[in-house]
Amino acid sequence: MVATAAVMFCLLGMAALPVSANGSWANPQQTDLSDLPAIEAYLGSVGVDPGDVVIQQGRLNYAGPNCPGAGWNCTTAKLVVQLGTSASASNIFDCLPALSALIPALNECLIVQSSASDPLETVSTMNSATCSVDIYDGPGKSKCTIRQSSKKGNNYATVRARVTQRSGTSQGATEDAQITQMSDTGSNTARIALTIEQSMSVGGNDDPTQTQNARQTAQVDQTSGSGDNSSDVQEVQLQTEGATSSANITQGQNTDTTLGRNQQATINQTSTSGHNSSNLQHQITQRQQAECPICTVNQAQGSGVGGQHGTVTQTTGPVTMTTIAALNEDQQQDASTSGTWIRSQFDPQDCCGQQNGGTAQNMNDVKLGASQRNMGGVTHADQ
Q: Say yes or no: 111 and 183 in one domain.
A: no
Residue 292 in any domain: the answer is yes
Mean predicted confidence (pLDDT) in 2-19: 37
Mean predicted confidence (pLDDT) in 63-83: 79
Q: Say yes or no: 221 and 314 in one domain.
A: yes
Residue 16 carries which DSSP code? S
Q: Say yes or no: 78 and 182 in one domain.
A: no
pLDDT by residue (tens digit) across 181-230?
A: 999 999 999 999 999 999 999 887 777 999 999 999 999 999 999 999 99
Query: What's the CA gap between 236 and 152, in Å, rounded?
Result: 35
Residue 135 in any domain: the answer is no
Query: What's the CA gap between 3 and 308, in Å, rounded?
Result: 44
Q: Say yes or no: 88 and 28 in one domain.
A: yes
Q: Does the pLDDT value for residue 97 go beyond 60?
A: no
What is the pairing mode between strands 353-356 and 308-315? parallel
Q: Say yes or no: 91 and 210 in one domain.
A: no
Residue 27 in any domain: the answer is yes
Residue 140 in any domain: the answer is no
The model's pTM: 0.83
Residue 238 in any domain: the answer is yes
Mean predicted confidence (pLDDT) in 16-20: 30
Q: Does the pLDDT value for residue 303 go beyond 90?
A: yes
Return the SS3 of 52: helix
Task: Indicate the residue among 61, 93, 120 that finishes a domain.
Answer: 120
Q: Say yes or no: 358 and 286 in one domain.
A: yes
Q: Does the pLDDT value for residue 99 go beyond 50?
A: no
Top mean pLDDT of 39-48, 121-130, 217-226 is at: 217-226
Burial of residue 31 (CB within 10 Å: 0-12, 13-18, 19+) is buried
Greater confidence (252 vs 39) lies with 252
Task: Indicate the residue among 120, 148, 182 that finishes a domain.
Answer: 120
**Domain containing 35: what range?**
1-120
Q: Say yes or no: 115 and 187 in one domain.
A: no
Q: Does the pLDDT value for residue 6 go beyond 60?
A: no
Residue 19 in any domain: the answer is yes
Do the Cβ atoms of 275 and 228 come closer than 8 Å? Answer: yes
Q: Say yes or no: 191 and 336 in one domain.
A: yes
- The residues, any chain, with a CB within 8 Å of residue 255's CB and separated by 6 or more, are 211, 213, 300, 301, 302, 303, 306
Query: What's the CA gap between 268 and 246, in Å, rounded?
Result: 52
Half-sphere exposure of 178 (CA within 13 A, CB side): 11
Query: What's the CA gap between 116 and 323, in Å, rounded?
Result: 29
Q: What is the pLDDT of residue 136?
A: 86
Residue 328 in any domain: the answer is yes
Greater confidence (34 vs 214) lies with 214
Q: What is the pLDDT of residue 93?
A: 75
Answer left, alpha or beta for residue 180, where phi above 0 means left and psi between -120 and 50 means alpha: beta
- The residues, any chain, with a CB within 8 Å of residue 217's CB and separated by 6 or more, are 174, 175, 176, 177, 261, 264, 265
Determine if the peptide bond prior to 352 is cis (ω within 30°). yes
Do the Cβ atoms of 98 and 65 come closer than 8 Å? Answer: no
Q: Say yes or no: 206 and 273 in one domain.
A: yes
Q: Say yes or no: 277 and 378 in one domain.
A: yes
CA distances 68 to 7, 60, 73, 127, Å, are 20, 10, 9, 16
Q: Say yes or no: 221 and 353 in one domain.
A: yes
Residue 103 in any domain: the answer is yes
Q: What is the mean pLDDT of the chain?
A: 82
Among 89-103, 145-159, 279-293, 299-313, where is mean pLDDT lowest?
A: 89-103
Greater confidence (75 vs 34) lies with 75
Q: Which of 281, 278, 367, 369 is nearest to 320 (CA)?
A: 278
Do the Cβ atoms of 162 and 204 come closer than 8 Å? Answer: no
Angle at 239 between CA 348 and CA 194, to 5 degrees: 80
Q: What is the pLDDT of residue 378?
A: 63
Domain count, the chain: 2
Half-sphere exposure of 120 (CA within 13 A, CB side): 17
Burial of residue 71 (CB within 10 Å: 0-12, 13-18, 19+) is exposed
Q: Say yes or no: 336 and 192 in one domain.
A: yes
Question: What is the greatest pairwise CA distance in the chain?
Answer: 80
Q: Which of 272, 280, 364, 362 is nearest to 321 (CA)?
A: 362
